A and B are shown apart, each in its own frame.
Chain A
Amino acid sequence: MKYIDEFRDGDVARRIADRLATEARADRQYSFMEFCGGHTHAISRYGVSELLPANVRMIHGPGCPVCVLPIGRVDMAIRLALEHDVIVCTYGDTMRVPASDSLSLTKAKARGGDIRMVYSAADALTVARDNPERQVVFFAIGFETTTPPTALAILRAQREGLKNFSVLCCHVLTPSAITHILESPEVRQYGTVPIDGFIGPAHVSIVIGAAPYEHFAEEYRKPVVIAGFEPLDVMQAILMLVRQVNEGRAHVENEFTRAVDRDGNLAAQQKVSEVFELRPSFEWRGLGEVPYSALKIRPAFAEFDAERRFDVGYTPVADNKACECGAILRGVKKPTDCKIFGTVCTPENPIGSCMVSSEGACAAHYAYGRFKDIPVKVSA
Chain B
Amino acid sequence: MVNLGGIRKEVSIELVPQAQVGDYVIVHVGHAIGMIDPDEAERTLALFGEMSAMAATESAA
Q: Which residues from chain A sit less than 8 Å from chain B, CB to CB?
A: 1-4, 6-7, 12, 15-16, 18-19, 22, 91, 119-123, 142, 145-146, 148-149, 152, 203, 206-207, 232-233, 236, 239, 255-260, 265, 267-268, 271
Contact = CB atoms under 8 A, between A and B. Distances in A.
A15 B45 CA distance: 13
A268 B15 contact: yes
Interface centre among B35, B45, B54 (most CB of A within 10 A): B45
Contacts of B12: 120, 122, 149, 152
Contacts of B48: 12, 15-16, 232, 236
Interface in B2-29: 4-5, 12, 14-17, 24, 26, 28-29
A3 B28 contact: no
A4 B36 CA distance: 11
A16 B29 contact: no
B48 to A, nearest CB: 5
Dominant secondary structure of chain B at its interface with chain A: mixed
Contact of A255 (B14, B36, B44): B44
The 9 closest A-B pairs by CB, nearest first: A120-B30, A206-B34, A15-B52, A258-B41, A258-B40, A1-B5, A257-B40, A149-B31, A268-B15
Contact of B36 (A19, A119, A152, A259): A259
Nearest to B11: A120
Given A2-B24, A258-B44, A265-B16, A18 B55 contact: yes
A149 B29 CA distance: 8
A119 B29 contact: yes
Contacts of B38: 258
A19 B57 CA distance: 12
Contact of B33 (A121, A148, A258): A148
9 contacts: A121-B30, A122-B12, A145-B29, A146-B29, A152-B15, A257-B40, A257-B44, A258-B38, A265-B33
B8 to A, nearest CB: 13
Contacts of A271: 15
Interface residues of B, number: 32
Contacts of A16: 48, 51-52
Contacts of B52: 12, 15-16, 19
Nearest to B45: A6
B14 A119 contact: no
Contacts of A207: 33-34
Nearest to A149: B31
Contact of B29 (A18, A121, A260, A265): A121
B15 A22 contact: no
A236 B26 contact: no
Nearest to A9: B48
B15 to A, nearest CB: 5
A368 to B, nearest CB: 21
A122 B30 contact: yes
A239 B48 CA distance: 11
Contacts of A152: 12, 14-15, 31
Nearest to B43: A257
A215 B34 CA distance: 24
A377 to B, nearest CB: 35
Nearest to A145: B28
A8 B29 CA distance: 23
Nearest to B48: A12
Contacts of B26: 203, 206, 259
Given A148-B33, A236-B48, A258-B40, 15 more contacts: A1-B4, A15-B51, A15-B52, A120-B12, A120-B29, A122-B30, A123-B30, A149-B15, A206-B33, A207-B33, A239-B51, A255-B44, A265-B16, A267-B15, A268-B15
A22 B51 contact: no
A120 to B, nearest CB: 3
A203 B44 contact: no
Contacts of A233: 44
B22 to A, nearest CB: 12
A267 B49 CA distance: 35
